Amino acid sequence: MRRDLAFGGAARPVVGKGVSSVACLAFVVLLALAFWAGAVWLGQLLIHLSSGGF
């Protein structure tokens, strides 16, 4: 059974496929950089603490 939408047209406004794809990729790159920066910081902290220093 088919259901018609209450509002005509698209469910969300179309921004442009190229713009949204670039924004999504930039967000993923930003998340990856934040993850690896945190991993490096945590690794350095663990190495520093295991050597006996504070």
Lookup: tokens for 11? 């469910």
- Digitized pLDDT (tens) for each residue of the chain, 54 residues in all: 666 666 665 666 665 677 789 999 999 999 999 999 999 999 999 999 999 866
Lookup: tokens for 43? 């690794």
pLDDT of residue 41: 98
Q: What is 14-40 written as a DSSP string?
A: ---HHHHHHHHHHHHHHHHHHHHHHHH
- The alpha carbon of 1 is separated from its chain's Cα centroid by a whole number of angstroms, namely 38
pTM score over 0.85: no
CA-atom Rg of the chain in angstroms: 23
